[in-house]
Amino acid sequence: MPESTFGLRRYSENKIVNLADGVQLVSFLVLAAMMIGAAIGVVLLSNIVYSAFLLALVFISMSGMYILLNAGFVAAAQILIYVGAVNVLILFGIMLVNKRQDFVPLKNAWISQVATAGVCLGLFALLSTMVLATPWAISSLTPIGDEAIIEIGKHFFSDYLLPFELASILLLMALIGAIVLARRDYLPDEILGRDRPSEQPSALTLPERPRELISGGK
Amino acid sequence: MSPGIDLQASFIELLEGFGLTHGVAKAIWIPLPMLIIVGAVTVLALVSTWLERKVSAAAQQRIGPEYMGPFGLLVPVADVVKLLFKENISPVNTDPLLFAVAPLLVFIPIFLSFLIVPFGQNLVITDLNIGVFLWISLSSIAPIGLLMAGYSSNNKYSLLGGLRAAAQSISYEIPLALSVLAVVMMSNSLSTIEIVQQQADYGILSWNVWRQPIGFIIFWIAALAECERMPFDLPEAEEELVAGYQTEYSAVKFMLFYAGSYANLVLSALLVAVLYLGGWEFPIPVSLIAGWLGISESTPWLQVLTGSLGIVMTLFKAYLLLFVAILLRWTVPRVRIDQLLDLGWKFLLPVSLVNLLLTAGLKLAFPVAFGG
């Protein structure tokens, strides 16, 4: 821990939350029930908006699990990133294209449902045998608790530097891709054929409406 | 520096004096600060609605509420009573479940965030290690509640309002978090207590506002946008969207939105005070004054005085900021949605990134002044 220059760091006894075992067990059971129930709801409900809201519940119960594991920072990051960003974007996506169509029942839909259920159960069986068969190396170290942020920071800039930088490049690529897609205005085919015979679009540019047409619309 | 009064320890000692065991005494203590904070926050939010009425009246050269209690102080109480007794209406084609859950999703994270607001050295519910980060992550839950309210109301104005609110709070969260990060970088900790202590050395001169002027302004703008205050209250722009996502709400559910928005404003003002204006510190350090007067710092009455001065100072700073926010609301016109998003993404975001870089550079160059 870097010593604070002002020497005012409070008597920081290592505040690792050790709930009584019973309380811990009960909270684990409640969180697990909440998470599994919400996850099943995400898959089975036919209303996609409900599924998206339940997904937020799944993420929140996961962050509760992290709190039980004394990983407060990871829990808060989980809420910030998954609930606050990912899930809100999913909801945005749903609400911007929501056509409120009635659900048309397909003929013989049960075949595909049974097949899906079979695949899912098979996957579940495979994964659970894997979980049960693997001899997990359970660490005997005490949880790091409050010092976690410092340790995570150290790891990011030493042995996990490459994944960290790769993730940032991936995000940058996604950002640029989103900007390119958003800047492209919808271009009807006949205008494309008529107006731009001379201009040869190179392989790296997307077809784009000429600028003056857009500004003329305002 | 002395640790000041430790209410928890003295309360537990008192109960143990009555013959209770340590565990029982602690279990009795645990809910007390939470209840006190929930009550206090409700009162603070009500006071700010009263302040809004009075200041808006003054800004328009009216008198404002006058007859209900002294200076109209009972108006907020009447508001609450009215909203509690109103019929709980949910329109026909709404989605009843989501319609009921949405106000709670907006309301609960705001009240939960008061966990980390310190009013004094030991006057905080928990001194969490992740401190401010908890507030940032909790405040990111609110957009889901707003989207839920907009969607479940089955009303195009509500849906547009909800979408706008979510877009706005997502785009302003980033400059907000980046300016908090610059403060955190200087104080080497996310804990609100340590952020205040790091500003405590030279009284008003060591407050973060002098070292982080850009960050202070960005944080204030972003906080106003997060609270949907006037220059940025597009989600409920009444000329365009009736009342945005709250259009269909009434009675208790409306009260939750209303109280939540004012509690959020109080919370933001308190956090500006904590992050940039020295929190509970008096402009001249109390220990310095005590030294001049020749009083020992461990004198009991001085500690009580310091504790109460801390609460008064925190609230004073917060309400000063709140006053500025209310004046802004009644003097500044509303921005357009494209201006709002332009300001957030094209101006505040790059400026806050530069601010972060500048802070890092200054911290390396002058570790004495910037908490190296």
Residue B136: its chain A contacts at CB < 8 A? 76, 80
Quick one: pLDDT at residue A128? Answer: 93
ipTM comes to 0.81
Residue B318 and residue B311: Cα distance in Å, rounded?
11
Rg of chain A over Cα atoms, rounded to whole angstroms, equals 26
Q: Is A16 on the interface with B (CB under 8 A)?
A: no
Quick one: pLDDT at residue B78? Answer: 87
Residue A11: its chain B contacts at CB < 8 A? 3
How many Cβ atoms sit within 10 Å of the Cβ of residue B147?
28
**Residue A120, token pair as written in the block:** 């899912």
**Residue A207, token pair as written in the block:** 């077809």
Whether the CB-CB separation of B87 and B251 falls below 8 Å is answered with: yes
Nearest alpha carbon to residue B165 among B331, B46, B341: B341
| CA distance, residue B67 to nearest chain A CA (Å) | 44
**H or E stretch covering B170:** helix B156-187
Of A6, A83, A91, which is closest to B140 when you measure between CB atoms?
Answer: A83
Whether the CB-CB separation of B303 and B290 falls below 8 Å is answered with: no
**Residue B148, token pair as written in the block:** 């839920």
Residue B305 and residue B200: Cα distance in Å, rounded?
17
Residue A68 and residue A45: Cα distance in Å, rounded?
29
Task: Write out pLDDT tens, residues A174-189.
Answer: 989 888 887 766 555 5
Confidence bin at A198 (pLDDT 50/70/90): low
Task: Write out pLDDT tens, residues B219-231.
Answer: 999 988 888 777 7
**H or E stretch covering A161:** helix A161-183
* DSSP calls for B76-144: HHHHHHHHHHS-----TTS-HHHHHHHHHHHHHHHHHHGGG--SSSS-SS---SSHHHHHHHHHTTHHH
Whether the CB-CB separation of B358 and B212 falls below 8 Å is answered with: no
Nearest alpha carbon to residue B280 among B127, B132, B124, B118: B118
Q: Is A152 on the interface with B (CB under 8 A)?
A: no
Q: Is A166 on the interface with B (CB under 8 A)?
A: no
Task: Write out pLDDT tens, residues B177-231.
Answer: 999 999 888 888 888 888 888 887 777 778 888 888 899 999 999 988 888 777 7
Residue A124 and residue A113: Cα distance in Å, rounded?
16
Q: Is A73 on the interface with B (CB under 8 A)?
A: yes
Is the pLDDT at A195 greater than 60? The verdict is: no
Nearest alpha carbon to residue A76 among B215, B69, B190: B190
Residue B107 and residue B112: Cα distance in Å, rounded?
9
Cα dist from B77 to A20, A112, B54, B266, B315, whole Å: 42, 59, 15, 18, 21
Q: Which site among B137, B181, B346 would you substitute to test the A interface, given the most A Cβ atoms closer than 10 Å to its Cβ?
A: B137
* DSSP calls for A53-84: HHHHHHHHHHHHHHHHTT-HHHHHHHIIIIII
Residue B28 and residue B15: Cα distance in Å, rounded?
9
Exposure b/e, A33-60, CB count within 10 A at least 16 = b: ebbeebbebbeeeeeebbbbbbbbbbbb
Q: What percent of chain B has pLDDT over 70?
A: 97
Whether B129 sits inside 8 A of A149 (CB atoms) is yes
Q: Is B151 on the interface with A (CB under 8 A)?
A: yes
Task: Write out pLDDT tens, residues A66-115.
Answer: 888 888 888 888 998 898 888 988 888 887 776 666 667 777 778 888 99
Spatial neighbors of A50 by CB under 8 A, at least 6 apart, are: A41
Cα A78 from chain centre: 9
Residue B367: its chain A contacts at CB < 8 A? 5
Phi, psi torsion values for B316, nearest 5 degrees: -60, -50
Cα dist from B343 to A176, B233, B340, whole Å: 20, 14, 5
Cα dist from B167 to A55, A151, A199, B196, whole Å: 19, 34, 38, 32
Q: Which of A125-129, A138-142, B188-192, B223-227 has the lowest mean pLDDT?
A: A138-142
Cα A166 from chain centre: 17
Task: Write out pLDDT tens, residues A101-115.
Answer: 666 777 777 888 899
Over range A39-50, report the average pLDDT: 85
Whether B140 sits inside 8 A of A80 (CB atoms) is yes
